[in-house]
Structure 1
């Protein structure tokens, strides 16, 4: 289907979405060619783990270089090539040649996203750091909005930006339709020690204070695969930020690319053994123990974090238990069930009844 046919079908099926996408696209084009560049107050580093993303890198770089916050003055990109076998390295070096003071390139043998991000963190010198994935892109005012907000409150240690989805298959966008969109109903400042049901799970759509990361020697656990690397890093970060604040920023969009070929880690995670063993052993269970040790209790937001993932297991396998046997054997299924029960020992019944995400209702909760 050609581009015209896709656009016509979108106009016919959802005219409101068609015109909104068209408007946002034109705004981005206008701002990308605008000579106006803003000078901000802070310096930022982007650490990106790169693995075979050659066809996405130009979109990634364009969205950063064309930021309304002056790229040359405020933003540094660290690309860590995790053993790519395509032309990712050549494309990065082409952009590095244009901006030698703003783009760094490092190569390592393939070891996974966590190890690549950890290597990149070693080279971060700025006060603020984020982890934009190289197959995604950001709104043209992304860094300007963040810079303005950080300057308003010295106790902010985490900026949580809003996720939008770019559907590669039909070149359309989805806004404010995510499961965590309630966090962005308004420009919200929330104390870390009272987050309640406010959870944030993406390090890509986050801005972290690097001083805190260095102080507590925080890193991405390379044993947690194929998911929850982000959630675990954020939970560790918040563990040591109890007296600080999180700012949830609506309309400061991070565009997650939903790949047409369904080749992302998100799409493939359910077929990997680590999803059922390692994620529990090195992720969820240690997370609960850390909060119990340091805070004396497990706060609601951490319980919600686990339930957000737990409901996905329940919904996927509750009525299709035979599917699980296609991924792990009976012995490992017993370990998986043991770990799941161990996690629920940290979950309050009142929290389960409050949990409302991913279509969770009473009939699902009774199976918890």
Structure 2
């Protein structure tokens, strides 16, 4: 099929008057000639600011290239779907209206697509976060080299964003973004497309600049306050995509499992489930979550390079449905779940906030973070001087700073913060000091010498961090 444009860039626009010009200019000023090669479709989603005026201004300036559409506010998915109906480019992208592309993006992506046309339907580019934070996106490891990723050989390379991806028109023309999802509508379409070839392209030498707003009003920032982020999202993304996989090939491929595990970790880290109105809603959430957990193999959780360590153990615990505290042959205390070690006492650090000499005393303040309940933990300072050993028990201290309190995942106490203070008379030059962690739950008992480290910021008050 012949296309009049190489690219159709579809932008859903909603109250972005402060950012829209930068976004549009990044497309108009591409190294690939805009007038000859690019169609830009701006879909205003009922903006109450000057966004539509800005879009129409550009539409008048480039009437052969820019299509301006306007709709009552119906959400990003509907705006993108309406824009897709007007797309005439060989390749399609859904640039977010507060983001922008590096100047050579379209040229480089087009060249890659033409070279690998029969191999891939999607090409992804690296995302760079900017404004509130300035850093590469956590999934950028896959962009070490420009290449075709075989998802059967390299399944741990999830792609969720259609903003930082370019898709063959022929591959996406029969899809529509789901209006049932508060986010992940991109990932649903892209990964359904991946099920055909199980390959996609990654281009390393261009960039997608992803704005993290200082006012924290992006969709990702707001979604955890929305009930749709929970049961509905599990049903309309995870279950929907799993059913698609089962229907297509009778199983859920590893690359889809890695996608599920990567994204699900953010839900598991939500501290409270107070968003639910009653027990029935809460029970429905747990029922669907357990269904989703069944889709994911334990090894996908344990070996996932994009899984944050603090939630990995909780993930395995939920997947297996239980955990227990036991003692290894070397007497080390561990928490395990069906053979998987979730936590090991001897591997923990004591982090010190304060080590000081003051008025003839040496003062220590710090904390231990672990999955072992504080009620079974004590911290001791061991002082050896002139062959005599003295054990001084540290005091447990509670702080108001959430960073120094027990952390909950889905209303479950999981990461305990044992904060301690201890003081001794100023030691002499021949004094040896060491610390030990003592564990005693009535069934298992042990002492271990912890690793020691220091924090740059003490985190003892709400103003320090």
> TM-score category by the smaller chain?
0.7 to 0.9
The answer to whether residue 124 in structure 2 is matched with residue 124 in structure 1 is no
* Matching residue of 2:40: 77
Measure the CA separation in 2 of the matches of 1:132 and 1:328. 36
Structure-2-length-normalised TM-score: 0.65
More strand by share: 2
* Matching residue of 2:269: 315
* Matching residue of 2:9: 46
Measure the CA separation in 1 of the matches of 2:83 and 2:154. 29
Match of 2:145 among 162, 186, 189: 186
* Matching residue of 1:157: 121
Measure the CA separation in 2 of the matches of 1:350 and 1:358. 12
Who wins on radius of gyration, i.e. which is larger?
Answer: 2
Q: Decide whether the 8 Å contact of 1:273 with 1:328 is kept in 2.
A: no
Q: Quick one: higher RCO (CA 8 Å, sep 6+), 1 or 2?
A: 1
Match of 1:247 among 201, 204, 208: 201
Pick which of 357-366 and 269-278 moved more.
357-366
**1:113-156 deviation per Cα after TM superposition (whole angstroms, max 9, x unaligned):** 11111111111122110000011011011111101211211222
More helix by share: 1
**1:229-272 deviation per Cα after TM superposition (whole angstroms, max 9, x unaligned):** 11112122222x22x63111113100001111111111100000
Distance 1:307 1:352, change over 3 A: same
Measure the CA separation in 2 of the matches of 1:262 and 1:327. 23
* Matching residue of 1:364: 314
* Matching residue of 2:106: 143
Q: Secondary structure at the match of 1:200?
A: coil
Quote how far apart the aligned CAs of 1:96 are.
1.1
Match of 1:301 among 255, 265, 270: 255
Tell me how large the CA RMSD over aligned residues is: 1.8
Measure the CA separation in 1 of the matches of 2:140 and 2:24. 27
* Matching residue of 2:342: none
Aligned pair count reads 313
* Matching residue of 1:115: 78
**1:293-350 deviation per Cα after TM superposition (whole angstroms, max 9, x unaligned):** 2022111111111111221122222xxxxx3214554322211111110011111222
Measure the CA separation in 1 of the matches of 2:55 and 2:278. 42
Q: Secondary structure at the match of 1:76?
A: strand
Distance 1:327 1:271, change over 3 A: farther
Gaps of 5+ in 2: 319-465
**1:56-90 deviation per Cα after TM superposition (whole angstroms, max 9, x unaligned):** 11101111111111011111111111111111110
Gaps of 5+ in 1: 1-40, 318-322
Match of 2:300 among 351, 355, 358: 351
Q: Decide whether the 8 Å contact of 2:12 with 2:79 is kept in 1.
A: yes
Match of 2:163 among 194, 204, 208: 204
Measure the CA separation in 1 of the matches of 2:246 and 2:309. 26
**1:1-57 deviation per Cα after TM superposition (whole angstroms, max 9, x unaligned):** xxxxxxxxxxxxxxxxxxxxxxxxxxxxxxxxxxxxxxxx97100111111111111
Measure the CA separation in 1 of the matches of 2:103 and 2:95. 14
Measure the CA separation in 2 of the matches of 1:208 and 1:134. 18
Q: Decide whether the 8 Å contact of 2:121 with 2:193 is kept in 1.
A: no
The answer to whether residue 160 in structure 2 is matched with residue 174 in structure 1 is no
Measure the CA separation in 1 of the matches of 2:161 and 2:63. 29
Measure the CA separation in 2 of the matches of 1:42 and 1:79. 16
The answer to whether residue 185 in structure 2 is matched with residue 229 in structure 1 is yes
* Matching residue of 1:64: 27
Measure the CA separation in 2 of the matches of 1:57 and 1:227. 21
Q: Secondary structure at the match of 2:74?
A: coil
Measure the CA separation in 2 of the matches of 1:324 and 1:75. 46
Q: Decide whether the 8 Å contact of 1:179 with 1:358 is kept in 2.
A: no
Structure-1-length-normalised TM-score: 0.81
Measure the CA separation in 2 of the matches of 1:112 and 1:233. 17
Q: Decide whether the 8 Å contact of 1:160 with 1:207 is kept in 2.
A: yes
* Matching residue of 1:260: 214
Q: Decide whether the 8 Å contact of 2:145 with 2:203 is kept in 1.
A: yes
Q: Decide whether the 8 Å contact of 1:165 with 1:258 is kept in 2.
A: yes
Measure the CA separation in 2 of the matches of 1:288 and 1:205. 24
Pick which of 230-239 and 254-263 moved more.
230-239
